[in-house]
Amino acid sequence: MNNGSVISLEHVTRSFGDRLILKSVSLNVNKGEIFGLLGPSGAGKTTIINILTGQLSCGGSAEIFGVSCGKIGGEVYRRTGAVLDNCGLYERLTCADNLRLYARIHGVAFSRIKEALALVGLDGCEGKKVKALSKGMKQRLALARAILHKPELLFLDEPTSGLDPATAAEIHSLMNDLRRDGTTVFLTTHNMDEAYRMCDRIALLSDGTIVECGEPGELCRRHCSTSELRIVAVDGEKLSIANTPENAEAVAGLIRGGRLQSIHSSEPDLGTVFLRLTGKELDK
């Protein structure tokens, strides 16, 4: 394990029946970073989180805080929090009662419950039953529960999937606050914009292996050296040309001739990088 690594996977494999889902996954997550695992649905992202949180066995080596994921005990659980696919809240209990259960398990003072609810924008919802909450509010409550005991490492499995943009933005803002406080975040997503904006580093997962890993902007520059110009002429004709010095005259000609209606540069994005590396599209 690297110095400063909070998570380390080396040649991790996992099958379900005779289907090899993870062929050989290797990655390291450093302390204090937001690390994104980006891949289409079915790629194996949740499987990796289940391995890291000790819920699934695997081949190869998987460690968090230097402890093998197959042997995680109370001390490691106290240092980690998770918002998983199935949010696991008690529908008939109130928000505060759901958090009280967790506070007891983790030995957290009840005064922290109000604080955690405020952090996720659920102030005043203590007495509300979970079944009366919207999807976005439930997700925020799951997040409040995950950060109740101030974990050093937080797993977020597609935390904004299916949420409205305003709630997604609030969750992103909370993630930024957590990063400022030094929390390490392991995020899975199939949303390239989320990965690009939120993550210090990302790994692209396809076909059971990590095909690339690095800073999002750096990956885009490395794999897509030119961006595209999308031009609409006054007569409605649409052109798409590479943003290169050789094409400068063609663009200048349109301007001189009074033919240019609009011009947009389309920056290379992580979807393009993924497509170039795997021949596959990320989900929308």
Ligand X SMILES: Nc1ncnc2c1ncn2[C@@H]1O[C@H](COP(=O)(O)OP(=O)(O)O)[C@@H](O)[C@H]1O
State the minimum distance, in angstroms, from the CB of residue 87 to ligand X.
Answer: 15
* Contacted entry of Mg ion, ligand X, none for residue 151, CB cut-off 5 to 8 Å set by kind: none
Per rule CB under 6 A, is residue 124 in the interface with ligand X? no
Name the residue nearer to Mg ion (CB basis): 37 or 95. 37
* Contacted entry of Mg ion, ligand X, none for residue 5, CB cut-off 5 to 8 Å set by kind: none
Q: Residue 81 forms beta bridges with which residues?
A: 154
CB 89 within 8 A of CB 142: yes
* Contacted entry of ligand X, Mg ion, none for residue 83, CB cut-off 5 to 8 Å set by kind: none
Is the torsion defined by CA of 169, 170, 171, 175 positive or negative?
A: positive
* Contacted entry of Mg ion, ligand X, none for residue 262, CB cut-off 5 to 8 Å set by kind: none
Among 5, 8, 28, 46, which residue sits at the site for ligand X (rule: CB under 6 A)?
A: 46
State the minimum distance, in angstroms, from the CB of residue 50 to ligand X.
Answer: 7
State the minimum distance, in angstroms, from the CB of residue 56 to ligand X.
Answer: 8
CB 239 within 8 A of CB 160: no
* Contacted entry of ligand X, Mg ion, none for residue 44, CB cut-off 5 to 8 Å set by kind: ligand X
Tell me the number of residues near ligand X by CB under 6 A. 10
Name the residue nearer to ligand X (CB basis): 20 or 132. 20
Of residues 15-44, which lie at the interface with ligand X (CB under 6 A)? 16, 21, 39, 41-44
Site string for ligand X, 185-224 (x = CB under 6 A): ----------------------------------------
Name the residue nearer to ligand X (CB basis): 50 or 183. 50
Q: Which residues of the chain form contacts with Mg ion (CB under 5 A)?
A: 45-46
Residue ranges in contact with ligand X by CB under 6 A: 16, 21, 39, 41-47
